[in-house]
Amino acid sequence: MNDKGRVEVGDKLGSTVDKVEGMLTAETADSYTLAVSQVFQLGGNSSKWSGEPVSIAKDGTIGYQVHRFNQTRTVVLTVAIVVAVVVVFATTKLNGGGTDQPTTGGCPSCQTQRVHP
């Protein structure tokens, strides 16, 4: 943020805003609209936001950086999670296995016998 940008968004983000992080939701020739996730102040303080939309004039910024996920690391992490889930199911027998034999209601030696006099 430059000084002009700080003045323009001071009532929304604070007068000492230094940097804004969020998801770019719209862009025009003159402004960016962000779903704000975090605001950093010049003194080093920061505050978390919950995606509130804020428009910032392009001439009020110094520029912006785009963060993209590393595709290779994302794929490796996904595969690792899937393997871990499969291992958990295989080792804890949560796969729905069991016996096909019907139960008889208890053990045969535990049943009472009637004696008729």
Q: Over the stretch 71-113, which tens digit does the pLDDT of each residue have?
A: 888 899 999 999 999 888 888 765 555 555 555 555 655 556 6
Average pLDDT over residues 23-28: 92
| pTM of this structure | 0.56
3-state secondary structure of 45: coil
Beta carbons of 37 and 23 less than 8 angstroms apart: yes
How far is Cα 38 from Cα 50, in angstroms, rounded to an integer? Answer: 8
Q: Which of 68, 1, 64 has its CA nearest to residue 27? A: 64
pLDDT of residue 39: 95
CA R_g for the chain:
31
